Structure 1
Amino acid sequence: MNMPVRPSDLSEAAPLPIPAAAAIRFENVSKTFAARGKGAAEVRALSGIDLAVPAGSILGVIGRSGAGKSTLIRLVNGLEKPTSGKVVVDGTEVSGLDERGLRDIRRRVGMIFQHFNLLSSRTAFDNVALPLEIAGMPKAEIRRRVEPLLDMVGLADKRHRYPAELSGGQKQRVGIARALATRPKVLLSDEATSALDPETTRSILELLSSINRELGLTILLITHEMSVIRGVAREVAVIDAGRIVEHGEVFDIFTRPKHPTTRSFLGAETGRELPPYLRAHLRPEPVPGAAVALRILFRGPHATDPVISELSRELGLDLNILSGSVDEIAGRPFGTLVVSLPNDPAKLGQALTFLQARDLDTEVIGYVA
């Protein structure tokens, strides 16, 4: 369920150009961990990272296990320091801070975790209140701040419940409320939905979107799930072996991925993954009687045009639809269609010219009998 946000009580690859209003900036950042144990080699977790999170935006960083994404997020709140380069958060270079400076930056940077990190001996209210107690805030002020937060995440009626009495989604809502208790300007999400079922994940993403929209909070979200990026982020950066290999708007990356790592993440998410029956009959080379299998990606101004019927009518082609999907990404239509047509080089060339003139990406993926 999408819970209402009430901000009145809470106010306070080739890299893209770094905007002046970036809330978080990584400037040529590298991180190397020293060798552990005899004969072990040092580990380079990050290399030459240039990345910016615009103020008030949601940016997702996706990568496989070991790609460096958790190291990246730990640099933002000073849990790790870069070996070289700069990490700037809300105008402050984090790597040069002393302990007092780090305490201050951590009040401006909230964090939610995969496994919630709640204290089992404290109620939902007391878990949210914990960072405020540590900061020495008076009890009356703590109450005035915590109660609106619990209301915002939809847990006003669970304030006296302990973690063991809450569902996974409710625990994560407590974690989100706690992360917001110090009125941060930046929220870090480290695989915050990977322990949740799909329905609960959707509700948490809706809550994060509402928080971003209503409070203007900047969110940096780390995940290995493209569905999470698609559900909440405006921009996405793909990290592989410690490097950003692709970065851009979610719609552009989803519909025209350039790097193999991105394509591997996107197979099922954007309809590029072929159904098993089609994969079983697809051949890389033509055989007698085989037809050409052509994948068409529908995006841009012609995404909803009756292109297939026009193509068949104008070129006199018999087209057979083998698989397809139609969806919406970042509020814009996108579809994938696999068709077969006679293995006639001249006709194929005419069909490709017709489709490309309408800004539709095409790809010959093989031959089917």
Structure 2
Amino acid sequence: MTVNAHAPITADAAIPASDETEDAIIRFEGVAKSFPARKSSAAVHALAGIDLAVPRSSVVGVIGRSGAGKSTLIRLVNGLEKPTAGRVIVDGTDVAGLGEGALRSVRRSIGMVFQHFNLLSSRTVFDNVALPLEIAGTDAATIKARVTPLLDLVGLADKRGRYPAELSGGQKQRVGIARALATQPKVLLSDEATSALDPETTRSILDLLGTINRELGLTILLITHEMAVIRAIAQRVAVLDAGRIVEQGDVFDLFTRPQHETTRSFLAAESGRELPAFVADQIRDEPIPGGQVVVRIVFRGPFATHPVLSQVTRELGIDVNILGGAVDSIAGRPFGTLIVGLPNDGTSLDKALAFLKERDLDTEVLGHVA
């Protein structure tokens, strides 16, 4: 299946791209969003000072906990919400500056996939996918020519006559994805699209979104509260906390060298990063005579696959006790985390940490155990 090239969205709100962001199909510039006070509650400041660029044909994730402002942020892209301050620019056009007629045109270039599918129970799979085309006044022959390959793409060609009640959760989400692609959008917004699915189904949906990104060149902006989703599909990520982006950048860099405490907390449960239960139960802040210092080592870059710990033992004569960890890859780049115990004397610890630092490995002293 191919996607037709679209002319840029045109409107009197069009904004020339700067050199720094000319490849960004979505840009948030100083965006804030507040909701007015109600009788029973104060005003809600959902977003503040949001600056974010989404490169064309990329997959960018926005991660945050409930109430962080993720859903508000994504609704600004298709004009379902308007910013209180700042600009949201989609393919050169300030969406907030559009009238309702122009906004409808923009929305046809922006597909959206929802957490709870939002399918019409009275319509078949084919007819659910065809719905946005019918609303746009597309003729029946064009609808058939558009919908049929989309059902092939999402693996539901044999389900075209079924109703939502006859489908699994994963199949319903595939219908939702096909429907979002029906108008041949340039941008696909994913609003917690996998959070209602089991892990295996989640992987299959993320694989499908990855295929769509690669084969159709579609830009995907997804919001989630799960780092595993970001890790599986995104190239870049922004971490949202209390309405502000506290950290953003390349997924590999954020996974391997998180700078903000919120990012670290999201990564805490990642395989290999958490302390084994038997260590967590014993760990103390103060040194224990004759005990060990517990250190987390993050393996990245050219030394990620080197036998560094055996070198510490062999070259420095320091015993290393491996307490836990995992080795994996992110975006095809090797990455590992090990929790180790080192002798509780300053000289050995300092030598070991210096040796690891020379090899561009990050270390963090977590505490002390007997």
* TM-score bracket for the superposition, by shorter chain length: over 0.9
For residue 341 of structure 1, report the CA deviation from its aligned partner. 2.2
Question: Which sits farther off after the overlay, 261-270 or 153-162?
Answer: 261-270
SS of 1:53's equivalent in the other structure is strand
- Are 1:347 and 2:348 matched, yes or no? yes
- Are 1:182 and 2:183 matched, yes or no? yes
Distance change in 2, residues 1:233/1:148 (3 Å) = same
Q: Which amino acid aligns with 2:175?
A: V
Partner of residue 4, structure 2: 11
Runs of 4+ in structure 1 over 3 Å off: none
Measure, in 2, the Cα distance between the counterparts of 1:299 and 1:320.
20
Measure, in 2, the Cα distance between the counterparts of 1:281 and 1:163.
51
Contact 2:62/2:70 (8 A) holds in 1: yes
Measure, in 1, the Cα distance between the counterparts of 2:85 and 2:343.
57
TM value normalised by structure 2: 0.95
Partner of residue 210, structure 2: 209
- Are 1:315 and 2:316 matched, yes or no? yes
Partner of residue 32, structure 2: 30
Deviations along 1:294-318, one digit per CA (max 9) or x if unpaired, are: 2211111101111011110111112
Q: Which amino acid aligns with 2:187?
A: V
- Are 1:50 and 2:51 matched, yes or no? yes
* Aligned pairs for 1:102-181 within 5 A: 102-181=103-182
Measure, in 2, the Cα distance between the counterparts of 1:270 and 1:81.
39
* Aligned pairs for 1:193-204 within 5 A: 193-204=194-205
Measure, in 2, the Cα distance between the counterparts of 1:259 and 1:341.
26
SS of 1:281's equivalent in the other structure is coil
Partner of residue 251, structure 1: 252
SS of 1:282's equivalent in the other structure is coil
Q: Which ranges of structure 1 fall in alignment gaps of 5 or more residues?
A: 1-6
SS of 2:281's equivalent in the other structure is helix
Question: Which sits farther off after the overlay, 253-262 or 282-291?
Answer: 282-291
Measure, in 1, the Cα distance between the counterparts of 2:81 and 2:167.
32
Partner of residue 325, structure 2: 324
Contact 2:188/2:221 (8 A) holds in 1: yes
Deviations along 1:151-196, one digit per CA (max 9) or x if unpaired, are: 1100000000000001100000000000000000000000000000
Q: Which amino acid aligns with 2:79?
A: G
CA RMSD of aligned residues (A): 1.1
For residue 92 of structure 1, report the CA deviation from its aligned partner. 1.1
Partner of residue 4, structure 1: none
Measure, in 1, the Cα distance between the counterparts of 2:100 and 2:289.
73
Question: Which sits farther off after the overlay, 76-85 or 285-294?
Answer: 285-294
Contact 2:76/2:83 (8 A) holds in 1: yes
SS of 1:283's equivalent in the other structure is coil
Deviations along 1:31-64, one digit per CA (max 9) or x if unpaired, are: 01000115x3111000010001000000000000
Q: Which ranges of structure 2 fall in alignment gaps of 5 or more residues?
A: 6-18
Measure, in 2, the Cα distance between the counterparts of 1:323 and 1:51.
36
For residue 125 of structure 1, report the CA deviation from its aligned partner. 0.2
Measure, in 2, the Cα distance between the counterparts of 1:331 and 1:44.
39
Measure, in 2, the Cα distance between the counterparts of 1:363 and 1:27.
35
- Are 1:334 and 2:335 matched, yes or no? yes
SS of 2:105's equivalent in the other structure is helix
Contact 1:112/1:176 (8 A) holds in 2: yes
- Are 1:283 and 2:276 matched, yes or no? no
Question: Which sits farther off after the overlay, 333-342 or 200-209?
Answer: 333-342
* Aligned pairs for 1:223-262 within 5 A: 223-262=224-263
SS of 2:314's equivalent in the other structure is helix
Deviations along 1:229-255, one digit per CA (max 9) or x if unpaired, are: 001000000000000000000000011
SS of 2:129's equivalent in the other structure is helix
Measure, in 2, the Cα distance between the counterparts of 1:299 and 1:133.
51
Measure, in 2, the Cα distance between the counterparts of 1:341 and 1:84.
52
Distance change in 2, residues 1:348/1:355 (3 Å) = same
Measure, in 2, the Cα distance between the counterparts of 1:45 and 1:95.
17
Partner of residue 23, structure 2: 21
SS of 1:125's equivalent in the other structure is helix
